[in-house]
Amino acid sequence: MGERWWPDPEACVVGVAFLLTLCHGAPMVDPCEPTNCSMAGPVIRFPFRRRDQPAHCGYKGFELSCNGNATLVELPSDGRRFVIRSISYENQRLYLDPESCPLDTFLNLNLSNSPFELHDRIQLWERTFMLLNCTCEVPTTYTYCYDYAIRCLDGQGRHFFGVSAGYCVSYLNKTCISMRTQVVPLAFITGLCSGHDYDPNLVWGTPDCRSCKDGLCSFSGVNRQVTCVHTTGSGVSIGVFLFISALATIAKLYLSWKWKKDKETEDQMKIEKFLEECKALNPERYSYVDIKKITDQFKTKLGEGGYGSVYKGLLPSGIEVAVKVLIRTVGNVGEEFVNEVQTIGRIHHVNVVRLLGFCADGKNRALIYEFMPNESLEKFIFPKDRRGPPLGWAKLHEIAVGIARGIEYLHQGCDQRILHFDIKPHNILLDHNLTPKVSDFGLSKLCSKEQSVVSMTVARGTVGYIAPEVASRNVGNVSYKSDVYSFGMLLLEMVGGRKNVDTSVENTSQTYFPEWIYNHFQHDLELGLNIIEEQDANIARVLAVTALWCIQWYPVNRPSIKTVVQMLEGSVENLVIPPNPFVSTASIALDSKPRVHGTILPAISESETQEIN
């Protein structure tokens, strides 16, 4: 018997559409038809829905209500309702009534549980600005600081500006106060005014219907995927369109068993889908042929590891780069590659290495970073001679603060918390000014700022830097405090100028350096370490005491990375020697709840973190 024939699903759609057209004399009632609160009010259609419409008519979080003729939106975390002046579906913007949402309220809206944002995602190449409220007409004392006057907000002797972030912070006029802790793009500043009037507006990114004509889109099929709605002159309603789409989806699902895709093809499709979704991140995409040209046929190798090899390269623009070429192993669908593009592609901080481009060409994967001429911190803190750090204690302290600030940005400065899970000297790169940059995000995970704790089924990281709770489920939940532990172990190696575990030392008491240095503090002994100047001794003590707080056995006893930065920048007199971090797990009851710098956080499952699998 020959293979059974099934009709083409697209032909089914055409047939159903023809029948529906013939039967159009009996129109279908569509509860999701566009509506409004008044004749002059904004049209309410997908992704929005009016509160009295069924839930399937709109996207989650896009519910609007009517109060007389006014159209209202409620922000869940803020608990307040605002009058909507108009909605631009083409630009995906929600324009609020200025009287219902004054400037101070607008700039401090809590949008954490809302689909809306104050502005579009900041691109890597975009200049960012601080929002300032000044009594003077010139916000900075430096000629080359770029500022933008927001004239529609001026009044009562106050002047409002957007001033470029970065070095200009040091040149701000003393009469200026910051109106918002986070920086914003120029488009947000220019969008605050419409002509001479203040014009508050919010944007939404998901669902993204900007590619649809007039922004028309809707749920389609049993999978409730968002697709564009193509209107025609046939008079077929949106409800009919949804019905046809559902039939087409069912037909395609019914036939899908006939096709089994090759594993490599499936992997490539996952990568391509991810990269399509991440176009806004803006690292440039290169072909494998481009990678060969950039690296001069992989001429200069900078290093290698289990992930692959790193080569020196030169972009067509003349910028020196480091190109990491990843090895594709059996069963690996490119998780490390996706992790790095997803994580580092969206951030830009002076203490985090910058991703300039990537290659996803067939089986070939490569990541292009800014070139770090001084390589990794590992080279500087493990010198062959043991007479102290070759960088000098002041520079070592500066590097430690820079690393901590980089980790602080990952934990608090991004839209989502980024947990690195592999903080170690090898992953701290140094530029030409010896500015530290946190690198290698292959093991990182993303989670929301509210859900700070993740449960893990397998350990991540490098032996010697892995926090106890990452290695053993009996210690506690894995959280951002795991990165704090790894940073503490790194700090101790910076202080000692040696690996924390060194079996080659003459005195066996020095084999495990963290315990040796804690015992010295406990018995009020000099650290030694060939330190002569008192100022250097103070720096070494600050670094060591901070590190010992970071490596406390229980996560709740460790400080947050923000507190770590404060400890590193504070006075040595204010530091307190922490409890013994090396007590056995048997000596403290597991149900005890010590409190020093932390609180108990609710655990979330690994599936709840936003990770590309």
Which active-site residues does the annotation give? 422
> How open is the CA angle 270-227-32, to the nearest 5 degrees?
145
> How open is the CA angle 529-534-536, to the nearest 5 degrees?
55
What whole-number distance in Å separates Cα of residue 121 and Cα of residue 599? 31
Could you give the C-alpha distances from 168 to 125, 131, 162, 184, 269, in angstroms and in order? 18, 12, 11, 15, 44
DSSP string covering 235-276: ---HHHHHHHHHHHHHHHHHHGGG----HHHHHHHHHHHHHH
Q: What are phi and psi of 222, to 5 degrees?
A: -70, -25
> How open is the CA angle 564-387-305, to the nearest 5 degrees?
65
What whole-number distance in Å separates Cα of residue 516 and Cα of residue 508? 10
What whole-number distance in Å separates Cα of residue 125 and Cα of residue 280? 11
Residue ranges with strand state E in 139-248: 147-149, 159-164, 177-178, 184-185, 193-194, 197-198, 201-204, 217-220, 225-228
Q: What is the 3-class SS of 53-89, one letter each residue? A: CCHHHCCCCCEEEEECCEEEEEECCCCEEEEEEEEEC
Sign of CA dihedral 484, 486, 491, 496: positive
Query: In this structure, what token pair is assigned to residue 151?
Result: 């004239």
- Tell me the sheet residues that pair with 447: 417
* Residues that constitute the known binding site for ATP: 324
Residue ranges with strand state E in 43-176: 49-50, 63-67, 70-75, 80-88, 93-96, 116-117, 128-134, 147-149, 159-164
Question: Own/partner pairs for 230-236, CB < 8 Å, 24+ apart?
Answer: 234/21, 234/24, 235/24, 236/17, 236/20, 236/21, 236/24
What whole-number distance in Å separates Cα of residue 76 and Cα of residue 78? 6
Query: In this structure, what token pair is assigned to residue 562?
Result: 């923000």
Question: Own/partner pairs for 300-308, CB < 8 Å, 24+ apart?
Answer: 302/375, 303/375, 307/336, 307/442
Question: What is the distance, to the nearest Å, from the Cα of residue 451 to the centroid of all Cα atoms in its chain?
Answer: 14
What whole-number distance in Å separates Cα of residue 153 and Cα of residue 150? 6
Q: Which of 386, 407, 509, 417 is nearest to 465 (CA)?
A: 407
What whole-number distance in Å separates Cα of residue 570 and Cα of residue 157? 38
Question: What is the distance, to the nearest Å, from the Cα of residue 328 to the centroid of all Cα atoms in its chain?
Answer: 25
